[in-house]
Amino acid sequence: MTAIRNMTADEIKGRTGRFSGLTPMSTAKSLADKGVPLAAVDVIFARKLMPIVLEDTTNPFGNNAPIFGAGGMSLHLSICPPGQGPCLHSHNSTYETFICLEGRWEFSVGDKGQEKIVLEKWDTFSCPPRVYRGFRNIWDRDSAMLTVISGPADARDDVSMPPIVAEQLKTFGADKFEAIQGVFHFDD
């Protein structure tokens, strides 16, 4: 039997994420630094996507979080203004589970987003690997959602997008689309 241990105050502090200390993910900022306009970044990511727990591995959510390592799970807080939210995408090796904390979110599921489901406060939707999903805030003010990604810790860079999203993003210009391709894989 494994012995139970105590945590030191420093260990506890190192595994605590305070809302006031959360920062938006670094990947969105790196795209903005490459000249990708906010309107294009808004297609891909929640307006405020703040990692709380990340694995210490390559992932599309950047490398800035208050907590690293939680047994293959990562945790994010998404806050979006009305009408905004990430496009259709698939996590190909991991589950993505969503819990509505505040507001109303419409999820589109399927290769063209043909299936719809609405989450309201405290509702949960868990999407298995290899299924396209996207979501947007359908409330009249900012909505907040907690997202848990679970699965192999080395599979955080497993996100792909359908061709319909590639076509939408190409309208921002070839150079902007090229910068986005450096972060995500687009399926044929």
How much is the pLDDT for 4? 94
Per-residue pLDDT, 29: 83
pTM for the complete prediction?
Answer: 0.91
Q: Give residues with Cβ within 8 angstroms of 113, minimum separation 6.
A: 88, 132, 134
- Spatial CA neighbour of 49 closest among 69, 26, 31: 26
Predicted pLDDT of residue 27? 83
5-22 pLDDT per residue, tens: 999 999 999 999 999 999
Q: Is residue 158 within 8 Å of residue 96, measured between CB atoms?
A: no
Average the pLDDT over 54-60 and give the result: 75
pLDDT tens across 123-154, in order?
A: 999 999 999 999 999 999 999 999 999 988 77
Residue 59 pLDDT level (bands cut at 50, 70, 90): low
pLDDT at 64 (0 to 100): 86
Burial annotation 68-99 (CB, 10 A radius, 16+ → b, else e):
eebeebbbbbbbbeeebbbbbbbbbebebbbb
**% residues pLDDT > 90 (the chain):** 74
Domains of the chain: 21-186 (2.60.120.10)
- What is the average pLDDT value for the chain, to the nearest integer? 92
Rounded mean pLDDT, 59-86 = 89
